[in-house]
Every structure is written in C-alpha cells, then in structure tokens.
C-alpha cells in the first residue's frame, strides 16, 4: 500500500466518522443527564434537510449550519416537552420522534430533490493542504475540526466545570440533585436541546458535505450507529472520539479492500461488528468494575419528585 492510498483511506475514514461523532457527542450529554433520546436519526434528518435548504437558498455555509442546529434543537425540544414536562415514556417518545423526523424531512425536502449545492472549501488556506500529509491535517471540512474541538469541550464541561458536575448529578440521582436544590428539569432541557443541535449538525454534514443533496432518509440509519457509539465509549468523550474513528474504519475499510480486489469477511459480519463490539464492551466494563458501573443511573427514567 502506498502512502498516497493510506492517506486517502484515512481521509474517507475521517469523513465517515465525523457525523456519527457529532451526533454521539450530543447524545452523550443527553444520556449523562439521565435522558435516553432514541430519536437521533429523526433529529439528524430534520437537520440534514434544513441545512441543505438553507445552503441551497442562501449559499451561506454559516446559514446552513445554523439552520441545521436550530431544526435539530426544535425537534429535540418537542421530545423534551413530552418526556420532561409531560413525563411521557422516553423510549416510546424517542421512537415516535424518529417517525416524525422521517416524515417531516421528506415533506420539507420535496422541493429540493434533484438539486445540489457547492461544497464549502476547508477552513484553512488552500496552500496549507497541498502536500499529501498536510492534506490529512488541513484538508477537511470545518465540521471535522468542530467535532474535535467539541470532544474536548464536552470532556472539559463534564469533568472540569460546576455545571457539568450538576448535569452528572442529575443523571446519577435526580432525586438527590433535586433535594439539594438543582433544577433537574431545566438541566435536562438544556442537555436535550444540545443533543438536538449536535444531531442536526451531524445531519447537515451528510446533506452539505459528504453527499451534497437531499433525498428521503438520506442518513440511512447512521443515527442508530451514533447511539451504539455512546454506549461503546462507555459515556466518555475521548473514547467516543476513538470509537467514532474505529466505527468509521469498519464502515469504509471493507470498501477499500474490495476496491483493491481483496475480499475480507462477509460484509454482513462487518456491518454487525459495531453493534457486537458494543455489547461486548458493555459486558467487559461490568466484569471489570462491577454491575451497574457503566450507564448513568437514572438513564431513561422520568423524574417524578414526591412533592
């Protein structure tokens, strides 16, 4: 394998990993706050269509990013009202949110089918990305760098800030957090909105960068991979980054092997691998650190104070 091909492969791996990393970072914060939102796929789709529409109408990358984040946030807030204020079941509401997102994005996107938009250039000056290796460093879309910065930011927020501490407390024991006087519901609303914004952003990566177009169900199930990734990473931001690149490699290496005329394992086995690995990791963590050590304790449970 030549150096050029190795770099080319790494470029595709990073491209495949970035959107699932973005969506998973959002869902990680949501789950750390004790909320399970299974509607990632739906939020990604409304983000994808909004980002594409904004790009097609204004030709402004910034508008595309903002529209995608706003649309994802709105969809997430719908979930928030139902599950946090009205205490509806999170699993059922999240699944309904995905049905909603598929339908809404298809309807909104109707007028944009068959169009394409210009892909924005990398954020660095072009000469910087000219050599093979410098292309690997400076030749990506801006969202690739955003996803790296956000990984660090989420890690800093969760481990080094007071707000992050409160958020984790809310996720581990909502009743104690409430009795100390933390606003459990408000914190969860904030987390859910953040998750929506990140999922929307991830969706726009597909519709404006990877395949600059809109088509129904454009994300083709990547939202579920993002959900698996959060668990695979055991709710830790840096492992999330590592996991995303690993998942990205699994998703694209098979294609490169085939292009080179090498047959790897059965493609179905490779497709199942991220999910199998996630189950395995969950089991291993429990073996090492005892039962229940992994997930936020209140994950998926509605907050019902006794007052």
Determine if 3 is a binding residue for another protein (CB under 8 A): no
**Cα Rg, the chain, nearest whole Å:** 20
Residue 154's nearest CA partner among 17, 24, 48 is 24
Contact residue for another protein among 227, 233, 240, 244 (CB under 8 A) = 227
Site for another protein in 141-170 (CB under 8 A): none
Site for another protein in 166-195 (CB under 8 A): none
Most distant pair of Cα atoms in the chain: their distance:
67
Determine if 286 is a binding residue for another protein (CB under 8 A): yes
Contact residue for another protein among 57, 163, 176, 269 (CB under 8 A) = 269
Determine if 57 is a binding residue for another protein (CB under 8 A): no
**Beta carbons within 10 angstroms of residue 217's beta carbon:** 13
Contact residue for another protein among 21, 22, 68, 82 (CB under 8 A) = 82
Cα dihedral: 234, 244, 51, 67 (round 10): 40
Contact residue for another protein among 58, 60, 87, 134 (CB under 8 A) = 87
Query: How far is residue 12's CA from residue 246's CA, in Å, rounded to a whole number?
Result: 12
Query: How far is residue 251's CA from residue 262's CA, in Å, rounded to a whole number?
Result: 16
Determine if 104 is a binding residue for another protein (CB under 8 A): yes
Question: Cβ closer to another protein: 5 or 163?
Answer: 5
Give the total residue count for the chain: 307
Contact residue for another protein among 211, 236, 239, 242 (CB under 8 A) = 211
Q: Whole-number minimum distance, CB 68 to another protein, in Å?
A: 16
Query: How far is residue 51's CA from residue 54's CA, in Å, rounded to a whole number?
Result: 5
Question: Cβ closer to another protein: 125 or 267?
Answer: 267
């Amino acid at each position: 394998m030549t150096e050029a091909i190795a770099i080319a492969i790494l470029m595709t791996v990073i491209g495949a990993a970035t959107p699932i990393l973005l969506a998973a970072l959002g869902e990680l914060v949501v789950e750390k706050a004790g909320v399970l939102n299974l509607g990632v796929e739906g939020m990604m789709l409304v983000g994808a269509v909004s980002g594409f529409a904004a790009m097609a109408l204004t030709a402004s990358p910034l508008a595309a990013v903002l529209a995608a984040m706003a649309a994802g946030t709105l969809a997430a807030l719908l979930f928030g009202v139902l599950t946090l204020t009205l205490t509806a079941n999170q699993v059922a509401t999240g699944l309904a949110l995905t049905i909603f997102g598929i339908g809404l994005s298809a309807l909104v996107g109707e007028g944009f089918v068959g169009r394409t938009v210009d892909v924005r250039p990398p954020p660095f000056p072009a000469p910087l990305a000219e050599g093979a290796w410098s292309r690997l460093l400076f030749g990506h879309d801006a969202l690739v760098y955003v996803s790296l910065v956000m990984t660090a930011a989420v890690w800093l927020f969760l481990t080094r800030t007071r707000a992050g501490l409160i958020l984790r407390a809310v996720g581990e024991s909502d009743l104690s957090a409430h009795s100390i006087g933390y606003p459990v519901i408000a914190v969860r609303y904030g987390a859910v909105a953040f998750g929506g914004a990140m999922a929307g952003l991830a969706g726009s990566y597909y519709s404006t960068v990877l395949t600059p177009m809109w088509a129904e169900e454009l994300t083709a199930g990547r939202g579920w991979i993002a959900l698996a990734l959060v668990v695979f990473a055991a709710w830790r931001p840096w492992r999330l980054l590592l996991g995303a690149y690993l998942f990205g490699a699994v998703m694209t290496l098979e294609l490169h092997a085939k292009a080179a005329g090498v047959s790897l394992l059965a493609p179905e086995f490779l497709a199942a691998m991220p999910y199998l690995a996630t189950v395995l990791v969950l089991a291993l963590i429990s073996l090492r650190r005892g039962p229940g050590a992994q997930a936020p304790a209140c994950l998926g449970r509605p907050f019902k104070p006794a007052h």
